[in-house]
């Protein structure tokens, strides 16, 4: 009765080893997906969809890493002619950025990234080999 838990641990490690042997045949890449958008809601939705798709395929996922928001500001005079009270308009555009790292073969990434991407979200995929 005491050896029962050990047997299941050995079985689990054997399965993991077999899984790694299967993975060794296919070249595993580190895929970095960079998402940029002005709309946070759409950006977070695309992030959640990508990560859900990757986890369904049992891939190793890191992220979403939230990078600092870039704020582009333009301050301009309201008056077109320069007369009158000095009143100013302050416009700003916020650009939000997310990083997601996946560790998988490149064929699987094509399936994951083929999801519907919300309007206004830019997707950039870079692939690097793991040594």
pLDDT for position 29:
84
Helix (H, G, I), strand (E, B) or coil at 122: strand
Helix (H, G, I), strand (E, B) or coil at 126: strand
Q: Which residues of 44-81 are buried (b: 16+ CB within 10 A; e: fewer)?
A: bebbeebbebbeeeebebebbeeeeeeeeeeeeeeeee
Whether the CB-CB separation of 27 and 129 falls below 8 Å is answered with yes
| Local confidence band at 17 (pLDDT 50, 70, 90 cut-offs) | very low
pLDDT for position 91:
98
HEC string of 20-76 equals HHHHHHCCCEEEEEEEEECCHHHHHHHHHHHHHHHHHCCCEEEEEEEEEEEEEEEEE
Q: Which residue has the higher pLDDT, 45 or 63?
A: 45
Neighbours of 30 (CB within 10 A): 15
- Count, residues in the chain: 131
**Across 20-24, 91-95, 96-100, 115-119, least confident range:** 20-24
Give pLDDT tens digits for 117-130. Answer: 889 999 998 988 77
Q: What is the percent of the chain with per-residue pLDDT over 70, rounded to a whole number?
A: 79
Q: Which residue has the higher pLDDT, 11 or 95?
A: 95
Dihedral sign of CA atoms 16, 19, 23, 29 in order: negative
Nearest-5° Cα angle at 127, 104 to 68: 105
Residues 24-38, mean pLDDT to the nearest whole number: 84
């Amino acid at each position: 009765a005491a050896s029962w838990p050990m047997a299941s641990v050995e079985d689990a490690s054997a399965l993991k080893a077999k899984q790694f042997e299967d993975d060794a045949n296919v070249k595993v890449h580190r895929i970095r997906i960079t998402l940029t958008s002005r709309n946070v809601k759409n950006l977070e939705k695309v992030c959640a969809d990508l990560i859900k798709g990757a986890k369904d395929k049992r891939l190793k996922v890191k992220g979403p890493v939230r990078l600092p928001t870039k704020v582009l500001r333009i301050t301009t005079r309201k008056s077109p002619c320069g007369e009158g009270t000095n009143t100013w308009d302050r416009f700003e555009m916020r650009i939000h950025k997310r990083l997601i790292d996946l560790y998988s073969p490149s064929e699987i990434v094509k399936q994951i990234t083929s999801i519907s991407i919300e309007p206004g979200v830019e997707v950039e995929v870079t692939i690097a080999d793991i040594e």
